[in-house]
Structure 1
Amino acid sequence: MIRVLIVDDDKLVRKGLASAMPWKEFGMEVIGEANNGENALKFMEESKVDLLITDLSMPVMSGIELMRIVRQQYPHVQIVVLTLHQDFEYVQEALRLGAIDYIAKVQLEREQFEEVLGRIKTLMEQKEGSKAASAPDEEAEQADEWFVLYALNPMNEDSKSSSSAEYALPDQAVEAEAGIWYWSGSPLVSYLPDPNAALVCFQHLSGLDRKSVLQLIRGYKKSDLFYEFDPTESVLFVNAAELLHREKADRSFGVDQIKGKWLSADWIYEANVFESMIQELKGYKMPPIRLARIFFSLSDEWNRLYQQILTEPILIEDFFSSWFRFEEWLTDVRDRISSANTKPLFSKEIQNSIVKAMNLAQMNISEPIAAADVAQQVNMSSSYFSQCFKQYVGQTYSDYVRDIRMERAKEYLRNTTKTIQWIAEQIGYNDEKYFSRLFREQVGVLPSEFRQLSEGRTK
């Protein structure tokens, strides 16, 4: 059964397509709906999808953006574009990104449903034909041990799927789906560790039919490979019997809770705290794309928090091939912040307290905390806190709070259409006129003028 996900910001369109089209007649089943690209990705993290039918014009994340991510993260998923207008520029872009067909809403009538689904089914079969033609021999089906090579690099919009020739695979290797090849017998004799590919040996497969084994190796890539792959090892050995009976990871985590922990300063100075937080994070086994989203957001917050001491901003990679690479990046971030924070005049405890104070100022920007209250929260006397903060950061606590408020105001002015009053309230000023006057003193122009200048630069 072909599992279908429908993505459209119009609820009536989604419900209409799901209920009116004769899906079952063509071996299809609608297993989910989403009103934008971001929610579609969340659904795909938890559910297997074979066919994605998506609108092009949607809020939050457009269909084109969704397609680019799906091509990278789920290259086996076939895509059909759903569009209200036959805007051929958009349609051509969608087809270039790998869509197999498009459906024009204005031309979709009941008597055409069978024709549309029939055409889609045929196109899917044609694209999958080369894979279906490569069936393994009887020996492979009965083998107790399979070798599987996973290509870890995502496809970009201008590239095709990885070729088996890139890895000098044996002749009997079969492509399970884009970027996954399997075979029985000997491993790759000349294979060396590769950060962009994982060679996995699945053992104890006897008793499983071919379909079950294929489900196992596909599911392993989705749930476990990212966290278990070590690019320094030539082969990763996996006990299939244990894998089948492995308990699913507890994913009942709160994103805000995770962000709160990683915005604290404890992990920067305490090695045992860092190790504990790393292991806790790894234990969630969240989908890699969700992990990347969380730390994209955190990297922005770290840059805002530590901008006074970092010589260069923290950058995060677009894609991590494995947890190994992610942990390397996170360790490097920790080293950069801790070395930038190291000042011989202060003990680690004092440095930690000052960073906590900076963090509190950032997180409570709408209702700033007075210096005396912050000093109490970080266990320092008010006078000593003020002295240490100025020496460590290079400005007084009140000046630091004012500057981060102005920087946040600039972000709101550049990236939102909210009123000046609303922006003033978000950064702790109830009086719009007072905020505007203070903004002009610090920036040189009124908030309204800054917004106009920013809009002019982006045109």
Structure 2
Amino acid sequence: MIRVLIVDDEKIVRKGLISFMPWEDFGMKVVGEANNGENALQIIEKNKVDLLLTDLSMPVMSGIELMREVRKKYPHIQIVVLTLHQDFEYVQEALRLGVIDYIAKTQLDKEQFEDVLGRIASLMEQKDLLKGNLIPQDELENVEEILALFALNPQSDELKLDAYLSVGALEADLGIWYWLTIEEQDRKSLQDWVTKTFSSNSGFVLIRFHGLKHLDRKSILQLLRGYQKGDLFYDYDPLQPYKIVNSEDILNKVKRETGYDMSQIKAKWLSGEWIHNDQLFEHMQNELKSFRLPPIRLTRMFFSITDEWNRLYQPILSEPIIIEDFLTNWVQFETWLRETRKQLKMIKMKSTYSLEIQNSILQAMSLAQQMLNKHITAGNMAKRVNMSSSYFSQCFKEIVGQTYTDYLRDIRMEQAKDYLRNTTKTIHWIAEQVGYTDEKYFSRLFREHVGVLPSDYRQKGSI
């Protein structure tokens, strides 16, 4: 039986996970819950815990601090992070602390609970296997190069090697196989297998690492695992399923700190300027790739951005923008980004206004979303996008299909609903966050828009 501890400062989250997750179906049992890291450590001292589910942002002791203590004192405990979109700047630190999975609270619903637990159980099993003596201790001493086969999706249920390929292969981690010595003919057979079996949608890539003689066994395995988690995502080319890589280049990339501001990146992609400006779009795309964000961080950030695009452009989108749950490589991500841009560009093909005017309206929609807690009238917004008040109101209604005031009210109410569903914050706090200083006025508007009072909406959502 896997003993589980849930740590989150929001009681509604803890109770929801305990009540709705099918723990017993996966051989798990919740042995405790805590609202901060300090209380969690007290529970761990008195109870056997195998799996820790923890939020990152908590009072008294944060999730990051808790994970550091657990790693020092209880290294056998596996850790899963519960996170909101604004927590993604901590992902790198959490990765260094060895988390096995992430659960985005804003994306979690009852239909996904079984999939989430199944994935966690599988990852725990894989970690336990890797702790065993499956890999000989001295086979990587003094080797100059190795041939490694990487699966782009290590979690795939269909992941397997053909019988003849698995002969002589060692497994470094889930989805990573390598050969210490391999004849040129055998290498070509592997290359042909990767190329022909999967054509342009290959699920595998074959890499020859050289320059390894100065590395010990532990460093080589870390190199393979680190490459899978980062550079493989950006280096993969479906037209080139075989590559030769210098280990020094990879290690230098790991050591080099790349400066970037996540909030600035997100703000750029939430603006509407890149939708019709080809040069700006290519620049932003190349810049994003140059940052080489950890793939999980890139994906999570664009999950958040996609949510906001849908909220921003819902009145003028024919259908919601959807991002795939699992992106295996940059080529796949870039294709999705270009298709999304086409979808957004199609919005305005029906309009007779110039691209400059359309971009100004998109900018206004983006600013409205970013400044929900401010009092920005149509006149104020018109000045911000360099338009006259009357012409702005006319253009906004014709392009968006509703007045600026109605649009602002709608996105405020949608954000309020999100807060009511996913936080335990007071109605007064929520009202202020969406631009209303008067709680009673906010509650009346909410009832007119949604049909029930905020308190009733929250109660129904928690049943």
TM-score, with normalisation over the residues of structure 1? 0.70
C-alpha contact (below 8 Å) 1:146/1:201 kept by paired residues: yes
Taking a change above 3 Å as real, the CA distance of residues 450 and 43 of structure 1, as seen in their structure-2 partners, is: closer
User: Is 2:208 aligned against 1:181?
Assistant: no
Secondary structure of the 1:319 match is: coil
Alpha-carbon distance in 1 for matches of 2:65, 2:329: 19
Structure 2 equivalent of residue 383 of structure 1: 390
Residues 104-183 of structure 1 mapped to structure 2, 5 A cutoff: 128-132=132-136, 136=139, 144-155=144-155, 162-165=159-162, 168-169=164-165, 171-183=167-179
User: Is 2:352 aligned against 1:319?
Assistant: no
C-alpha contact (below 8 Å) 2:147/2:178 kept by paired residues: yes
Task: Give the AA of the match of 1:313.
Answer: P
Shift of 1:389: 0.8
Larger radius of gyration: 1
Residues 25-104 of structure 1 mapped to structure 2, 5 A cutoff: 36=55, 39=63, 52-54=76-78, 96-97=121-122, 99=124
Structure 1 equivalent of residue 282 of structure 2: 275
Deviation string 1:298-349 (CA, Å, 9 cap, x unpaired) is 1111110010111211122221111221122122211111112333401111
Shift of 1:151: 1.4
Alpha-carbon distance in 2 for matches of 1:355, 1:292: 24
Structure 2 equivalent of residue 217 of structure 1: 224
Secondary structure of the 2:172 match is: strand
Structure 2 equivalent of residue 191 of structure 1: 194
Alpha-carbon distance in 2 for matches of 1:322, 1:437: 48
Size of the alignment, in residue pairs? 379
Shift of 1:249: 4.3
Alpha-carbon distance in 1 for matches of 2:223, 2:79: 32
Alpha-carbon distance in 2 for matches of 1:416, 1:400: 24
C-alpha contact (below 8 Å) 1:51/1:77 kept by paired residues: no
Within the candidate set 395, 401, 415, 1:394 is matched to: 401
Shift of 1:263: 0.7
Deviation string 1:155-189 (CA, Å, 9 cap, x unpaired) is 27xx5x944337x5262322222221112333214
C-alpha contact (below 8 Å) 1:357/1:378 kept by paired residues: yes
Deviation string 1:394-444 (CA, Å, 9 cap, x unpaired) is 111112112222222222333333333333222222222322333333333
Structure 1 equivalent of residue 299 of structure 2: 292
Q: Give ranges in structure 2 of 5+ residues lacking alignment.
A: 1-6, 8-33, 46-51, 58-62, 85-90, 102-116
User: Is 2:410 aligned against 1:403?
Assistant: yes
Residues 234-313 of structure 1 mapped to structure 2, 5 A cutoff: 234-246=241-253, 248-313=255-320
Shift of 1:281: 1.6
Within the candidate set 429, 435, 438, 2:436 is matched to: 429
C-alpha contact (below 8 Å) 2:100/2:120 kept by paired residues: no
Secondary structure of the 2:257 match is: coil
Alpha-carbon distance in 1 for matches of 2:100, 2:383: 58
Identical pairs, percent: 45
Taking a change above 3 Å as real, the CA distance of residues 439 and 252 of structure 1, as seen in their structure-2 partners, is: same
Deviation string 1:129-170 (CA, Å, 9 cap, x unpaired) is 23338x75xxx96665432101121327xx5x944337x526
Alpha-carbon distance in 2 for matches of 1:441, 1:52: 53
Secondary structure of the 2:328 match is: coil
Taking a change above 3 Å as real, the CA distance of residues 198 and 440 of structure 1, as seen in their structure-2 partners, is: same
Structure 2 equivalent of residue 350 of structure 1: 357
Alpha-carbon distance in 1 for matches of 2:348, 2:457: 33
User: Is 2:38 aligned against 1:11?
Assistant: yes
Shift of 1:99: 4.2
Within the candidate set 329, 346, 361, 2:336 is matched to: 329
Q: Give ranges in structure 1 of 5+ residues lacking alignment.
A: 1-6, 19-32, 62-68, 80-91, 102-122
Secondary structure of the 2:395 match is: helix
C-alpha contact (below 8 Å) 2:230/2:295 kept by paired residues: no
Alpha-carbon distance in 2 for matches of 1:359, 1:100: 44
Secondary structure of the 2:134 match is: helix
Alpha-carbon distance in 1 for matches of 2:336, 2:129: 41
C-alpha contact (below 8 Å) 2:204/2:241 kept by paired residues: no
Taking a change above 3 Å as real, the CA distance of residues 93 and 361 of structure 1, as seen in their structure-2 partners, is: closer
Alpha-carbon distance in 2 for matches of 1:292, 1:93: 21
C-alpha contact (below 8 Å) 1:34/1:40 kept by paired residues: no
Alpha-carbon distance in 2 for matches of 1:272, 1:265: 14
Larger RCO (alpha carbons 8 Å, 6+ apart): 2
Secondary structure of the 2:260 match is: coil
TM-score, with normalisation over the residues of structure 2? 0.69
User: Is 2:238 aligned against 1:231?
Assistant: yes
